Amino acid sequence: MPWDEWEQLKAEAADKDTARMRLNQLPADPGSSSGGGGGRSDLVVRQDDLGAVGHDAFDLHSRLGKQADIAGAGMNKAGAGSTMQAAASLKSRSFATGSVMESIVELWTTRTKTLLQACAHISNHLDFTKKMHSQDDRIIAASLRNRDGSAVPVSRINEYFT
């Protein structure tokens, strides 16, 4: 593409009154800490948000543990699930599919356990995070009190950030 054609396309795009792509930056926000000092942070996480994500992870863990168990589904007295029973039956009749089915059940079980561990980790971590932030909030609230128990005025708190 010749350079003048590129310049023409850029000029046409700039003339259009449409949303433009911005790379590697956001427009300056007067309320943000990077845009001029309102002290507002961009990342806000509320206890309800953490609770909802943790609950969803716990719910997924519970449902996945029950519904994704193909190794144990239709279990016989020997403890083999219906898929593994079918695999054993096929293997005993010299069908290669039997070995493949066994491998698939083993792979599925391994991957399911990994996913279950991830869900449990997310749920437990978010529970831990909520607990720690609550403790941090209590410590901060206690440290921002005068000797008589009254709250420290905002003007004194701002001294810590200047």
Residue 49: predicted pLDDT:
73
Residue 43: predicted pLDDT:
55
> Nearest Cα to 69, choosing from 33, 10, 110?
110
Taking the whole predicted model, whether its pTM rises above 0.75 is answered as no
- pLDDT tens for the 162 residues of the chain, in order: 566 777 787 777 777 655 555 455 555 655 544 444 444 555 566 767 777 888 888 888 888 888 887 777 777 787 778 888 888 899 999 999 999 999 998 898 899 899 999 988 888 887 787 788 788 888 877 777 878 888 777 777 677 676
Helix (H) or strand (E) holding 91: helix 82-92
Residue 44: predicted pLDDT:
63
Cβ contacts of 85 within 8 Å, gap of 6 or more = 74, 76
Cα–Cα distance, 123 to 80 (Å, whole number): 31
Residue 117: predicted pLDDT:
92
Cα–Cα distance, 25 to 2 (Å, whole number): 29
